[in-house]
Structure formats: structure tokens, C-alpha cells
């Protein structure tokens, strides 16, 4: 189960994404996403800049930031706490990860963010 931190902005706001990456010490990568015409399952997608941190060691820096500066929106803070627990579990149990626990946490996160496509649980 891949865990990551991501920020996506329209291409004309790419400087915001670059500033966030700089703030975190140039960890992670920025990807440019092409625009796409509407399809059966989605609407028009505009070109975007997508910042993503995936390495567990680098996610520690993201955790440190949000632990020091908690999100102010209660629902987002709850979602962060669940995500944080997932990252901490992977850090602390690197060689013996309990995927059932991670799956349960992912389901909890999905329930908190049921309106967001970003947090859908992918079932195998």
C-alpha cells in the first residue's frame, strides 16, 4: 500500500507547487499533468502541476510540519491524524507491516473523505 503526500494545482499556479517543494527542502518530485477532454467518467482536466512525496523517510518531514502546524479544519485534521497513523505504522513496522491494519485505516480515511476521489480505497 503506497502512502504519499500530494498537492495539485493548475499549471498557471505551478509556482505555488514549486514553493511548497522548496519549503520542504526539495524532497519529492513535481510532475506536469497534461490536460484531457471530458470522458464518460470525468470532466475536463486542465493542465496541472502535481507535487508528490512518496519516500517514507521524506514523509517524516511532512509529518513534522503538520504536527507543528495542525490543520485548522476539524474534518481535515481528523483525516490527517488517520493518514499520520498509517505513515507512522509503516515507519515503525518497516519489516513487519500489518496490512490489515493499514487497510482498516484506509477505509476510515475514505469514510472521512467520501466526497474526494483522492482518498478512494482501491479494493483488490
| Parent domain of 4 | 1-55
One domain for residues 79 and 123: yes
One domain for residues 7 and 45: yes
Rounded distance between C-alpha atoms, residue 103 and residue 100, angstroms: 5
Q: What percent of the chain has pLDDT over 90?
A: 73
Domains in the chain, number: 2
**Prediction pTM value:** 0.79
Q: What is the DSSP code (8-state) at residue 95? A: T
One domain for residues 45 and 87: no
One domain for residues 28 and 76: no
Task: For residue 60, tell me if it sits in a domain.
Answer: no
pLDDT digits (tens, 9 = 90+) for 82-118: 999 999 999 999 889 999 999 999 999 988 877 555 5
Task: For residue 17, tell me if it sits in a domain.
Answer: yes
One domain for residues 75 and 124: yes
First vs last C-alpha separation in the chain: 11
Amino acid at each position: 500500500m503506497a502512502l504519499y503526500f500530494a498537492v495539485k494545482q493548475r499549471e498557471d499556479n505551478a509556482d505555488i507547487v514549486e514553493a511548497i517543494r522548496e519549503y520542504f527542502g526539495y524532497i519529492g518530485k513535481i510532475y506536469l499533468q497534461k490536460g484531457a477532454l471530458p470522458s464518460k467518467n470525468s470532466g475536463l482536466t486542465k493542465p496541472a502541476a502535481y507535487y508528490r512525496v512518496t519516500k517514507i523517510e521524506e514523509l517524516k518531514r511532512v509529518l513534522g510540519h503538520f504536527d507543528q502546524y495542525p490543520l485548522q479544519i476539524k474534518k481535515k485534521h481528523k483525516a490527517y491524524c488517520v493518514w499520520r497513523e498509517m505513515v507512522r505504522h509503516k515507519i515503525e513496522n518497516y519489516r513487519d507491516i500489518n496490512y490489515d491494519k493499514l487497510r482498516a485505516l484506509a477505509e476510515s480515511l475514505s469514510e472521512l473523505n467520501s466526497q474526494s476521489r483522492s482518498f478512494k480505497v482501491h479494493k483488490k
